[in-house]
Amino acid sequence: MPDSKINSMLMKLPDETGKGDVMAATSVLQQRANEIRNNSINWQSYLQSQMIGDDDYRFITEFLSSDGSKRDSLLQNQRTQCAKTFLSLLEHISKDQTVQYILTIMDDMLQEDMNRVEIIREYAKKKRENVWSPFLNLLNRPDNFIQNMTSRIIAKLACWSRDPMEGSDLTFYLTWLKDQLQTPGNEYVQTTARCLQMMLRDEKYRLVFAGMEGVSVLANILSGRINFQIQYQLSFCLWVMTFSPQLVEQMNKHKIIPILGDILNDSVKDKVTRIILAVFRNMIEKPEDAAMVKENCVAMVQAKVLKQLSILQQHKFDDEDIMADIEFLTEKLQASIQDLSSFDEYSTEIKSGRLEWSPVHKSERFWRENANRLTEKNYELLKMLVHLLETSRDTLVLAVASYDIGEFVRHYPRGKSIIEQLGGKQMVMQLLAHEDPNVRYEALLAVQKLMVHNWFVKILNANLKSIKKPF
């Protein structure tokens, strides 16, 4: 499908959660907005204190007393006054309660008809003012409702207007969204995720977000303990990002497949299952690089996706898309197994960061035939192994990585000097003092292989004889 058609399809996706979804009714923002709509604002007092002018007073009172076709007619005949009044009220009124009310009715106005965003855009253009400045400034207000209702309005303007958000304004807004996602205890996180869902449907916006380490942020959040609604919303963000093939490589870098594989295995909500399957399908269908497609298939197999697909096939889903994706993925993953070499399996396991005692690690033949391949692509796999030794807290990963370092050194002529250059020797040495006995044992074996023909090997041999293998 051409890029233009893909973007057109994504931009037509619903902007709200939908009638069948409880999120719209239960999000903190919507609950609070329902309360705010019932507030009564004394506009007369603002007029008498000269905080607003006669024309703004007349428009806002007439706007609030109208609905349906009467409101349509008012906005059509007084487009300029509409924009002027809303922006003037936001500029001159500082009371949180009133600003909350203004933002809520403004958001309602845009939600009723997406074309109304042009009222704001046209006015700013006519006045030669930055359309984004009044709203971006409100993101700095201390009141969380004001921040998040403003964010909704910005997302609507950015996604529905003829003129896209660009430059420093776009960077500021996406950075704000990214920061809000990572704020501990953010009660408005569903609203933040909803705004990001809207923004990332546009390729220009998702490329900028990806360039700001956005994929890394989504991966970190999805790796933690979050509710199914946020799992769905952030997986949706990843799904629209997979329509840009160049971003799939970033998703691999941040181990999206094993992360989503874990969520899929534990998922009890059909919509979470559906969106993750859609992400996986795109990660096979969209990339043009055959090697990347193969790598993604193997990563899915290692994340036990094939096993979960077998379980899902026994379920009865009302959604035909789920069944189609299950069949597609099952066929592709089973075919990938037929072509899978031991090195493909090993390489994908290293890249996933989830090492376990799979058969290849202890296979003498594997190391004899493939040790040299670990030096490919500027020692890519070796660097990953050393990185795991430095950063992983998983004792199984540390034990297996230590073993692999030792086997590489044993089977590759210059293995010792390469590992030393990459910092692997120092990492393994540090693990000699690890609290886990299995890690210590494998580290001792690896160091022995690194120190061969060195006087220190005598001490290690003595240590090895004095300890019993812990497994």
- Under DSSP, is residue 131 helix (H, G, I), strand (E, B) or coil? coil
For residue 411, what is the DSSP state?
A: H
* Domains identified in the chain and CATH numbers: 24-212 (1.25.10), 236-340 (1.25.10.10), 358-461 (1.25.40.150)
Residue 135, token pair as written in the block:
């709203």
Look at the chain and count its residues.
471
Q: How many CB atoms are located within 10 Å of the residue 139 CB?
A: 17
The tens digit of pLDDT for each residue in 252-304 reads: 889 999 999 999 999 889 999 999 999 999 999 999 999 899 889 989 988 88
Nearest-angstrom CA–CA distance, 223 and 185: 16
For the segment 199-257, what is each residue's pLDDT rounded down to a tens digit?
A: 999 999 999 999 999 999 999 999 998 999 999 999 999 999 999 999 998 898 899 99
Q: In whole angstroms, what is the distance from residue 430 CA to residue 221 CA?
A: 30
Write out pLDDT tens, residues 453-466: 444 444 555 566 55
Q: In this predicted model, which residue has the larger pLDDT, 425 or 348?
A: 425
Q: For residue 386, how far is the Cα from the chain centroid?
A: 26
Give 348-374 pLDDT, tens digit per residue. 889 888 899 988 899 999 999 999 999
Answer yes or no: are the C-beta atoms of 141 and 147 closer than 8 Å.
Answer: yes
The pTM score is: 0.79
The distance from CA 188 to its chain's CA centroid, rounded to whole angstroms, is 17
Residue 466 pLDDT:
58
Identify the residue with better confidence: 235 or 450: 235
Q: Yes or no: say if 108 and 68 are a contact pair by the CB < 8 Å rule.
A: no
